[in-house]
Chains A and B, each alone.
Chain A
Amino acid sequence: MSKALLYDATICIGCKQCEQGCAAENQLPYGDAIAAEEKQSAHKYTAILTRGDKFMRRLCMNCQQPACASVCPVGALEKTALGPVTYDAGKCMGCRYCMVACPFGVPKYEWNKLFPKVRKCTLCSHRVANGRQTACAEICPTGATKFGEREDLINEAQQRIRDNPGKYVNHIFGLSEVGGTSVLLLSGVPFEEFGYSTPDYALPMLTYRVLSKIPEFVPLWGVLLGGVWWITHRREEVAAVEGQRPAVEDHKERKQ
């Protein structure tokens, strides 16, 4: 059902056409200077990293259980059923919690604008929604970036690792990292060398298991506080009444 990208670093020739295609698709400036910036930014949603003759692509992983969408107080970031994690600038209030929370450091900010937006790859959600593939996959001359069904791509990646012993690190990055991602990576060198290291579990549970206790906690705490108030003040009422009683009885006795 859900779409994904498979990036195979061993096929990548570092031509950076994916960067160029991405910039064109998202109406971002592109030139030699920007091509030389080997990092994602508000004007560069994907970047090819070069280490000698090895390459690696960085882009939004479009996580299956995205931390960014889970922390966004207004739901500006959203995981769609098709795969992309989309961003609605109209909802965003600019708290930047998504940037803090993202385990890949993906969301970037337009720091120099007066009304800034969060910027990131959205897996070409506008194209994918119309049944097309992402701009980067379409433009890739070697097939290093391939678009397709996530399940199919996982099978294909496993096949490639099986068919080429020794060529790949025996791991599909994104299969289970942070609960799985919609961008899958294959590499001949360890992923950590390119800064890819994340926990193997989905992050949103870390906050939600605390948050989900609130509906039960509120009545409990309320009743407890009310109870303490009742006891501490009851004691006082009793003391007051007991202090008065002799006086009242005196009064009654006198009457009799």
Chain B
Amino acid sequence: MKIKFTFWKLVFLFLMAAGFCATVVRFTRGLGAATNLSDQFPWGIWISFDVLCGVMLAAGGFTLTAAVHILNVKRLHSIVRPTVLTAFLGYLLVCVALMYDLGKPYNIWHPLIMRNPHSVMFEVAWCVMLYTTVLALEFSPIVLERFNLQKPLKVIRGILIPLVICGVILSTLHQSSLGSLYLIIPEKLHPFWYSPLLPVFFFFSAIAVGLAMTIFESSLSAKYFGRQLELPILQELGRWLVVVLSVYAVLRFEDLMDRGVLKLTLQPSYEMYLFWLEVSLGLVLPLILLLQPKVRMSAGGLYLSAVLVVLGFITNRMNVSITGFERSAGTHYFPKWTELAVTGAIIAAGFALFGLAVKYLPIFPAEEPTGEESIEATSGTVLAAPVLRHAGD
């Protein structure tokens, strides 16, 4: 336990140090020195991963609050807090990443006073701004409780439902709009990824990833924060995940068929391999796994499927924003070390902030206190046992 903790601390320190060096390069020598971006390839990994994937990975916030507060699925209540925390941190980190990517970050506030209602980016800017505020308010009871501030707590609880509804509306808008961003380039984006349905795909996959991330982080919390694994909750999320993934898969392939692109998916090409990587990781494998009751009911099976879904849709976002462009741009793009270092530091900061919040704030519902050793042992068995059971299958 102790050695492991130190190891992750070292990894964290290394990532932060590399991120710091990259930050210095970015803000003293500009985008040209800090990135492999070019006139042919104006958007790189900071947009693809840090913004597109970042917003997608934080989608658990609106998915879970909608399930618990709107659909009234009470069983999921105990995991709302860690999910809202993840979403809030996610959006804050997206804003940090934007400060790196924007050529003139000091003008980031301009959409507040300069409007262009024809611009998807303008709409995304407003939605992200407002939704981060909503998340801050949804998160605030945790802080208010910690300091026992009853009055503001009462106010927030009083407006919770309208707040959740606003959050769901804003999320629906910008999760889908991140796909709409690419609607304007029918000639530049490869037909595997350009579709009039891009906003619909982005929205549905955000829900799928929201559910998968919730399973993922609940499993990790069980392992590293000594939480009881709430298996029945994850099983329910797993069932929802099957439904959302299936709907997405049907829609995705119907769309490919309608646009006459289906046959292209069988002709070997650079894009074909990455298309199938995306589809196998995000749809085929997790659906095969989750449709088997034995896997769907086991902690290990759920964890594995969730990780696959997350990886699959990260691949999807990278494909839409990088792979799909390379042919029309006439060049390949691979991020520079500085781009990777900033992204790495942002991910590391996300994990560290989550850990700190869990340590100092009432994120998880109160449990009977137990010794560290025994928690590690129990959660370790909870996680490991199903995996071992299946190893023999």
Residues of chain A having any CB pair with chain B under 8 Å:
41-42, 67, 70-76, 91-97, 99-101, 103, 105, 108-109, 111-117, 197-199, 203-204, 206-208, 210-211, 214, 217-218, 221-222, 225-226, 228-229, 232-233, 235-236
Contact = CB atoms under 8 A, between A and B. Distances in A.
B-side interface size class: 35 or more
Contacts of A76: 114
Contacts of A103: 185, 187-188
A93 B110 contact: yes
Nearest to B111: A73
Interface in B145-198: 161, 165, 168-169, 172-173, 177, 180-181, 183-188
Please list the 10 inter-chain residue pairs (A to B) with the smallest Cβ-Cβ separation, ordered nearest first: A94-B103, A111-B32, A232-B72, A93-B107, A73-B121, A73-B122, A99-B42, A112-B32, A74-B114, A96-B42
Nearest to A88: B114
Nearest to A78: B116
10 contacts: A67-B184, A71-B119, A75-B115, A92-B107, A94-B105, A95-B121, A111-B32, A207-B180, A221-B169, A229-B161
Nearest to A112: B32
Nearest to B127: A214
B184 A204 contact: yes
A109 B39 contact: yes
Contact of A70 (B27, B124, B184): B184
A73 B110 CA distance: 9
A101 B185 contact: yes
Interface stretch (B8-16, B63-71, B354-362, B383-391): B63-71
A105 B102 CA distance: 19
Q: Which among B103, B104, B185 has the highest number of chain A CB atoms within 10 Å?
A: B103
B134 to A, nearest CB: 13
A222 B164 CA distance: 10
Contacts, number: 163
Nearest to B108: A93
A151 B203 CA distance: 44
Contact of A206 (B31, B114, B169, B183): B183
Nearest to B114: A74
